[in-house]
Structure 1
Amino acid sequence: MVAVVADVEILLPYSKSLKDKRMIIKSLIDRIGNKGCASISEVDYKDVLQRSRLGIACVSPDSSSANQSIQRIKNKILSKDDVVLLKFEVNFFSL
């Protein structure tokens, strides 16, 4: 079994208020976590208007499927027009 933890920083250039930011973040979290394969939370920059840091974790039976899952998540973030990916750092843990 493999656990994957991703530290993700994003820029939200079109966010004009904290309400806008939270709406974009909620949409992104819903989009990523929709299949139930990942747990996502905003972990930093909660009161910063155009920036956010997300913590993402998922568990897979092997490293190959863990890598596929984390790449799918990264691609979903990259496909959002209102989000700029600044950092996507991944750590794998064998259990």
Structure 2
Amino acid sequence: MIVGLLTVELHIGWATTLKDKRRVLKSIVDRVRSKYNVSIAEVDNQDLWQRATLGVAVVSNETSHVNQMLETVVRSIEANGEADLIHYSVEIL
């Protein structure tokens, strides 16, 4: 069993309240979860209204599949126009 962990840091520059941030994150999380069948949640910076850290997990029996899925998720999040991707890291267990 191969587990892939993706950590994504986002900047939501136009957000002026936590409500704005939550709306953007809900959109991203719901879209990614339904489209790619991965586990995704906000894991850090919950009290900051312009920063967000998302954690994504994928389980497979092949490392190449895990890498492909996580790269696809990164591209999808990056393509979202409401939040800017600051940094991401991938860890394979």
Superposition TM-score, scaled by structure 2 size: 0.93
Q: What's 1:7 paired with? A: 7
Q: What's 2:54 paired with? A: 54
- Cα deviations across residues 30-71 of structure 1 (Å, max 9, x unaligned)? 111113521111111111010001111111120111111001
The unaligned stretches of length 5 or more in structure 2 are none
Residues matched between the structures, number: 93
Q: What's 1:37 paired with? A: 37
Task: Report the Cα distance in structure 1 between the residues aligned to 2:84 and 2:47, rounded to whole angstroms.
Answer: 18
The unaligned stretches of length 5 or more in structure 1 are none
Runs of 4+ with >4 A deviation: none
Superposition TM-score, scaled by structure 1 size: 0.91
What percentage of residue pairs aligned between the two structures are identical?
34
1:43–1:53 contact (8 Å) kept in structure 2: yes
Task: Report the Cα distance in structure 1 between the residues aligned to 2:69 and 2:36, rounded to whole angstroms.
Answer: 11
- Cα deviations across residues 3-33 of structure 1 (Å, max 9, x unaligned)? 0011111100121211110000000001111
Task: Report the Cα distance in structure 2 between the residues aligned to 1:26 and 1:16, rounded to whole angstroms.
Answer: 16
RMSD: 1.1
